[in-house]
Each structure stands twice: as C-alpha cells, then as structure tokens.
Chains A and B, each alone.
Chain A
Amino acid sequence: MKKNLVPLIVLAVLAFFPLAVKDNYYMHLMILFLMWVVIGSAWNLIAGYTGQVSFGDAAFFGSGAYAAGLLSVHLHISAWWGLALGGFAAVAVGLPFGWICFRMRGAYFALATLALNEVLRHSAAIAEGFTGGMVGILIMPSFVSKVPYYYVALGMAVAAVISIQWIVHAKPGYYFVSIREDQDAAESLGINTHYYKMLSLAIAAFWTGVAGSLYMNYMGFIDPDVVFSLHDISIMAILVGIVGGVGTVYGPMVGAFVMVTVQELFRSGFFGLFKYLGNVTGSGTIVSIAETITGAHILGFGILVVVVILVLPNGIVGDWPKIRNAVFRTKPAT
C-alpha cells in the first residue's frame, strides 16, 4: 500500500486546493496543469508505451475543442456535451490519421503525424463556413467562477490517469510495450500489431480530445492556430512527456507541472517583472522587450528540448537516479 500513499496524498491536496486557494490566477494555472496531465498521459501511452512518437497530438486536441464549440454554434447544444463527444470526435479523426501514419515506422511516422497536424490546421482555417475560419469560435462560458471547471478538470485527470494505468498493467500494456521493443517479434508472438497500435492511438486521441473540449468550455474561445498549434500543443505534449519521463507512471504529472510552470514563467515575462519596469520608467522600449519575452516562451521550450534530450533523455522520473546523484553528489552504485 505504500506505493499508493504518495498519489493519494497528492490527490487529497488537489481535491482541497480550491477551498484553500481562492486566487483566480493560481486556479487557472492548476486547471491548465490538470489538462496537461491528461494530454501528457495520453501521449505517454502512444509514444512512451507503444513507441509511436506522435508529433500531431494537436489534431486530437483541436478536434475535441471544435466538436464542443461547433455543437454550441451550429446545433445550439451546450458545449458541455462536447466533453463526451469531443473524445469520440477525436477518435474519429484519429482512426484515419492512424491508418495513414502507421504504414510508416519510426521517424517517418513522426513526420507523417506532423504533416497531418498541419493539414488539419490549414483545413480548419480554410473551411470558413463550417468552422468560422480564422475568426474562430466564441461561446459563453457556463460559469463565472473557476471552481466548477477545476473539479471537472480534476475528475478528467483522475479518470484518464487511472484508466490508462489500468490498461497498461493488463494484456494491452504488454502488447503495447512489445510493439515498442520489436514490432516484428511482437507479430510472431501472435500480437496483431496493427490493431493494438490503433487501439493505443484511439485511447490517446480520446483523452486528448476530451481535454480539448474542456479547453473550449473553459476558455470560451478557440481558433485554428490556438488549438491545432504545432508548438503550443503538439510539441508541448511531447515536452510534458519527455521532461517528466517517457513510459513511466508519474512522468506525465511531473512533466505537466514543470512545463506549465515554465510556460507561465515566460508568458508573464518572469511574473511581470519587465512590465513593471516598463511602467515605472515609462519606457516603451522596455515594454516591447517585455512583449518579446512573453513570446519567447517558444525559445524557452526550444532550449528545454535541447537540454533535456542531451542531459535527461529519460525525463525527470526516468533519470531520477542521475538527478539524485548529481544533486547529492553521491557516487552511483556500480
């Protein structure tokens, strides 16, 4: 039971969080964190466990978001229905996506997912009649307070993590890892690799789509460049996965926490430092530098990718022994 103690404590902390902290700013960050736990866990399933590194998760996120949004705009149903339907919409997109991309392996698969991500993004922008094009979709948020959104996000995160873990510990999990390790050997052991790759993708797409729907409901506004974004969604998902630790249980959670923090650090210009300086001195230049820093979160991501891959290829959780040794200067056991 000791193994379950830490997660339960974390869960309890998360459950009571809104009662203790009323500040909307932190609520917002926590909601983002929970959303990324979901997306990261999903990516971890398809990439970390099944070994199919996807660069196109934004396709699923965007599909879920648009499903929720379009329900509201075209059918005038509450976008909350999108939470359930968004997942399935993403799966509907994911199946042909997978059918096309799984014909290739390794890096070509990754490239194909990237290409399809971009095709979807441009398509959403062009199909103005259906999606509103670059104008995007705007809906009225159902709640003023952030608290309900927080609990929905928390529920979603718990459901995603638990369901994925459950799958990974059973037969599909063995099959996924076998495919990752050696697809040909897996086939010879009676594993229908095509089916299981698609299954893994479908599950990942489902949860990513659900996260997308939540995003639509919570933010109230989406457009193709936001929800189908290569850098802000697809690559962020990869970063959450690799920073935390690919193929591990807690990796996505650690990764989500770190990445949301890093992203916010840049977005707020080191928590408003530069803007403050700009206001104090009345200097336009400093304010524009502040704006540049804000946009430079991509620079931060880029540097993070390079550093993590070089130093911590297995993520924080995966390379934990390495980190512990470096911090505490203990000699590694030989």
Chain B
Amino acid sequence: MDVFLQTFVAGVLKGGLYALIGIGMTLIMGVMGIINLAHGQLMMVAMYITYVLHLAGVDPYLSLFVAMPALFLLGAVIQRFLLNPLLKADTILPENQVLMTVGIGMVLTEVVRFIFKSDYKSVTTGYSNATFFLGNISFSMALVISFLIAIGFTVAMFFFLIRTDIGRSIRATAQDKDAAVLMGVNTGRITIITFGIGSGLVAAAGSLLAPVFYVFPDIGGPFTARAFIITILGGLGSTVGAIFGGVTLGLAESFGATYISMEFENIIGMTIFVLVLLFLPGGFKRLTKI
C-alpha cells in the first residue's frame, strides 16, 4: 500500500511541474495554432541559465526571475522573426511552421551543446534532496515547492486571461483572428506576446526542475514530447486542462516506472499521446464541457 501511495504522490508532484510546461504550450497552440516542437528546448535553455547563475552562487528559485524574462524575450524574437513571416507564405506544406520549430529546437540544442558540451551538469542545492515525511510517505521538498509554484502560476494565468485587457485580446485572437483584427486587436503583437509568455512559463518550469533533474543538452526532446501529450490530453488552450493532463501524465509515468519497468517511461507517454489523438480528440476539456 505504501508503495502505491508513494508512487501516487511522486506522480502528482511531478505532474504539477509537467502542468507548468504544458500551460505554456497549450497557450501557444490554442491561441495561435502554432505547434511548437522547440518547447522542451526552450526549457533546456532556461535550465542552463539557472545552472550558470548557480555557478555564480544564485539560488535556482531566484534565477526564476532572470530565466523567465530572458526566455520571454527569446520567445518573442523567435515568433517575430521566424514564425510570423511563415503565416503569410503560401506554400504546399502548411506544416512548414512545425518544421521551423523543429529546426529552431535543433539549433538551440546544438548551440548549447557546443558551449557546454554534452556532459550532465547538476544544480544541487541544500534542499535538492531534502524530504519530509507524512506517515510512511516521503515528499521531495523541491518537488513540493515546485508544485505549489506551478499551481500559483496556473491560477495567475487564469486571472490574467480573464481579467486583463491583454488576456482578453489573446483569447479573442485565439477564437477568431480576423474578427479580432476588426476589433482593433494588433494580432501580430499578440502572437509575439503569447509566444513570449509561453516561453516564460516553460522557463519557470526549467528553473524549478534544475535542482531535481540533471541538466544536459538533449533533455529538451523528451520534455517537448511531454508538453504535447499534456496539451492534447488537457485540450488546446485550456489551462485547467493542462493541470489535469500534467498530473495524469505524471501518474502514468510514475506507475509505469514502478510497476512495469523504467524503460517504459518513454513509450507510455507516446502511447497515451496516440490513444488520446485517436479516441479523445478534444482532450479532457471536451469531457468537462457537456
């Protein structure tokens, strides 16, 4: 029973962090219809920023405040110069945009590898391994803090989208770009801002994850995959869905690793992905909307 609970707790905590990764992506996908296959790589960049700052003695939770704006800028630049132009081009492959993000992801990974080499770096802090116990179940301190911060961001995003002008503009652009333009929304600017926000959020995830995972250039790929799975599970554009999706994936991986084998972790995610695409195309959002 204890093993079960432990696995469950680990899954939920991990899931909260995954949700943070997913929110950024669901925003980008839901709002702009842009499939960002470089999402995990953006997170990777944030992790390295955290690593470098850590070498300088800065606590990872503080480097959040550096990584997030940095990635916001990076995301905005990418959107402005590399993605916005594509929206106008008329070519045979509308999937050019997806390919472009693949290319960007590759460039980010390799540039980082060039600078930092492929070795696994780690960001260890006093609390990296700290745990506290509730009964027989151990809770990783770092993951709990990250979980709480992730929930905090989610709630903040929720209010941002509903209450602020920019948030409303973003939602308007998501629902109908042309109509939004007619209403005076500068959709070009909104897409840039949205991509920036999405990148900023995943940067937060990166900084929060750095104390807990190894940092290496290729860590981006599997996280991009996870971001997708979460987005598809939760439904495009739904922040609440991202939380459900994240926790579901966290639990699936956790139970898969404990009860089947470690190697299944990768396949589980992909399999869920395909299954959801096949059988529940709208994601959780669809289930709750009836």
Indicate if the CB atoms of A53 and B93 lie closer than 8 Å: yes
- From known contacts A104-B277, A106-B95, infer whether A305 and B267 are also in contact, taking CB-CB under 8 Å: no
Indicate if the CB atoms of A110 and B270 lie closer than 8 Å: no
- The smallest C-beta distance from A45 to any residue of chain B, in angstroms, reads 13
Indicate if the CB atoms of A115 and B103 lie closer than 8 Å: no
Q: Which residues of B contact A103 (CB under 8 A)?
A: 277-278
B110 CB–A CB distance under 8 Å: yes
Indicate if the CB atoms of A107 and B98 lie closer than 8 Å: yes
Cα(A107)–Cα(B278), bound, Å: 14
B92 CB–A CB distance under 8 Å: yes
Cα(A299)–Cα(B117), bound, Å: 14
B105 CB–A CB distance under 8 Å: yes
Q: Which residues of B contact A142 (CB under 8 A)?
A: none
A199 CB–B CB distance under 8 Å: no
Question: Which listed residue (A47, A108, A115, A118) contacts B93, Cβ 8 A?
Answer: A47
Cα(A126)–Cα(B100), bound, Å: 31
Q: Which residues of B contact A180 (CB under 8 A)?
A: 92
Identify whether the interface residues of A are mostly helix, strand, loop, or mixed.
Answer: helix
As a 0/1 sequence over residues 105 to 123 of chain A, the CB contacts with chain B under 8 angstroms (1 = contact) are: 0111011100110110011
Interface size class of A (residues with CB under 8 A): 35 or more
As a 0/1 sequence over residues 251 to 283 of chain B, the CB contacts with chain A under 8 angstroms (1 = contact) are: 000000000000110110011011001100100
**Considering the complex, which residues of chain A in the window 271-300 have a beta carbon less than 8 Å from any beta carbon of chain B?**
292, 295-296, 298-299
- From known contacts A118-B266, A119-B274, infer whether A302 and B105 are also in contact, taking CB-CB under 8 Å: yes
B99 CB–A CB distance under 8 Å: yes
- The smallest C-beta distance from B114 to any residue of chain A, in angstroms, reads 6
B199 CB–A CB distance under 8 Å: no
Which of A6-14, A17-25, A152-160, A309-317 is the interface stretch?
A309-317
Indicate if the CB atoms of B85 and A313 lie closer than 8 Å: no
Indicate if the CB atoms of B100 and A108 lie closer than 8 Å: no
Q: Which residues of A contact B104 (CB under 8 A)?
A: 302, 306
Chain B interface residues toward A at CB < 8 A: 35, 82, 85-86, 89, 91-100, 102-107, 109-111, 113-114, 117, 225, 228, 263-264, 266-267, 270-271, 273-274, 277-278, 281
Chain A interface residues toward B at CB < 8 A: 47-48, 51, 53, 100, 103-104, 106-108, 110-112, 115-116, 118-119, 122-123, 125-126, 180, 231, 235, 238, 242, 246-247, 292, 295-296, 298-299, 301-306, 309-310, 313-314, 318
